[in-house]
Amino acid sequence: MDTRTRVNQALKQAMKDKAAERLATLRLINAAIKDKEIAARGDGEEGSIGDAEILGILGKMTKQRNESARAYEEGGRLDLAERELAEITIIEEFLPKQLTEEEIRSAVKSAVSDTGAASIRDMGKVMGVLKSKYTGQVDFGLVGPMVKDELCSEGGC
């Protein structure tokens, strides 16, 4: 079952259960997906987006909420931080299992060898391979430095 179907089924169930907070978050997810579809149509692509794009959207939403929760906590607004964290929990239901740091390092080494990357100039190739395989499973803000370290350890810096 694709991610969009799972989100729509969860949305319907939240309506039946009268779970207002869950419903609001699921509607935000749906709106973000529809926004991406509209943007894709404007770029001349077909209107439907795939699971990879949806997982990217969900990952971005999670990251935004983590940043907001941190800012709210620093500002002393724990009620708002808790709401952001609750939304993260709901969004993460639709994301695949996150890879551990060890699994990420293994994936980076594999991608470097698969692409034949030899220097830091090949970082884009390596990141492209990782994004195609692991979208939604890793935070690419953390992966970038790992790729750089791996390429530099091979003497490519």
**Share in percent of the chain as helix, strand, coil (round to 5):** 75, 0, 25
**Owner of token pair 């169930």:** 13
Share of the chain above pLDDT 90, in %: 43
Of the candidates 131, 145, 60, the one whose C-alpha atom is nearest the C-alpha of residue 95 is 60
pLDDT band at 45 (very low <50, low <70, confident <90, very high): low
Q: What pLDDT is recorded for position 157?
A: 65
Q: What pLDDT is recorded for position 56?
A: 85
Calculate the alpha carbon distances from 157 to 23, 85, 125 in Å.
Answer: 49, 39, 16
pLDDT tens-digit series, residues 90-125? 999 998 888 888 999 999 989 988 888 888 888 889
Which pTM does this prediction carry?
A: 0.73
Domain boundary among 70, 92, 114: 92
CATH code, 54: 1.10.1510.10
Q: Are residues 114 and 146 in the same domain?
A: yes
Q: How many domains does the chain have?
A: 2
pLDDT band at 50 (very low <50, low <70, confident <90, very high): confident
In this predicted structure, the answer to whether residue 33 has a pLDDT above a threshold of 90 is yes
Q: Mean per-residue pLDDT for 120-131?
A: 89
Domain boundary among 92, 114, 139: 92
